A and B are shown apart, each in its own frame.
Chain A
Amino acid sequence: ILNVEQSPQSLHVQEGDSTNFTCSFPSSNFYALHWYRWETAKSPEALFVMTLNGDEKKKGRISATLNTKEGYSYLYIKGSQPEDSATYLCARDNYGQNFVFGPGTRLSVLP
């Protein structure tokens, strides 16, 4: 089992603040990394799929970077809004098969 770690475990920010969190994973035999947004009482929703070292993806105010050599990915949220409050999950993808999820970072954006 490949351990995937995320930090911090939880985060409280004020509306308008920018924030970022980290996903760490074993770098050997890397294939792909996924980021998901998970609102309470809903299903996880895909944000990004990242495969190449140095990848940078953006979706509105959310962006992510990937470093496969050192085994980490950052997720950034610019100008946080209350609707960004959710748990953000990353998952290491083993050729579409044995996904291993991190425990998530729970973000609360206070108005």
Chain B
Amino acid sequence: NAGVTQTPKFRILKIGQSMTLQCAQDMNHNYMYWYRQDPGMGLKLIYYSVGAGITDKGEVPNGYNVSRSTTEDFPLRLELAAPSQTSVYFCASSRWSVAVGTDTQYFGPGTRLTVL
């Protein structure tokens, strides 16, 4: 049981380049999330998904896109990278049901992205 995995761990991009950050979980969690960590600002939610085929914007979605074609995978796409997107990106997953309610989020190890 690997939990939440993210690739790559580090990446340097040039302004205007694009890339996809990969996230996968093997816990059969229905909910998945992408956050960015900015210094002194904690975690900001970029996008989330409540199940395969369903995604929604969080607090800071501009410049990003997501898809959720399977329960396990939730990739984050950066189009036309900008220096403002330099950050550490965390993927997380959790299980939510009407019967049980909310559960804790499990976080991946993070991807450190630098845009120069």
B-contacting residues of A (Cβ < 8 Å)?
Answer: 1, 31-32, 34, 42-46, 49, 51, 89, 91, 93, 95-104
The answer to whether B105 touches A95, judged by C-beta atoms less than 8 angstroms apart, is: no
24 contacts between A and B (CB under 8 A): A32-B101, A32-B102, A42-B109, A43-B107, A44-B90, A44-B107, A46-B105, A46-B106, A49-B102, A49-B103, A89-B43, A91-B43, A93-B102, A95-B96, A95-B102, A96-B103, A98-B58, A99-B105, A100-B45, A100-B59, A101-B42, A101-B43, A103-B40, A103-B41
Q: B74 at interface (Cβ–Cβ under 8 A)?
A: no
Count of chain B residues with a beta carbon within 8 Å of a chain A beta carbon: 27
> Bound state CA distance, A23 and B24, in angstroms?
31
4 more A-B residue pairs beyond the given contacts A95-B102, A96-B103, A98-B45, with a C-beta to C-beta distance below 8 A:
A51-B102, A89-B43, A101-B35, A101-B42
Q: Which residues of A contact B90 (CB under 8 A)?
A: 43-44
The answer to whether B104 touches A96, judged by C-beta atoms less than 8 angstroms apart, is: no
The answer to whether A96 touches B42, judged by C-beta atoms less than 8 angstroms apart, is: no
> Bound state CA distance, A32 and B102, in angstroms?
8
Q: Which residues of A contact B43 (CB under 8 A)?
A: 44, 89, 91, 101
The answer to whether B110 touches A99, judged by C-beta atoms less than 8 angstroms apart, is: no
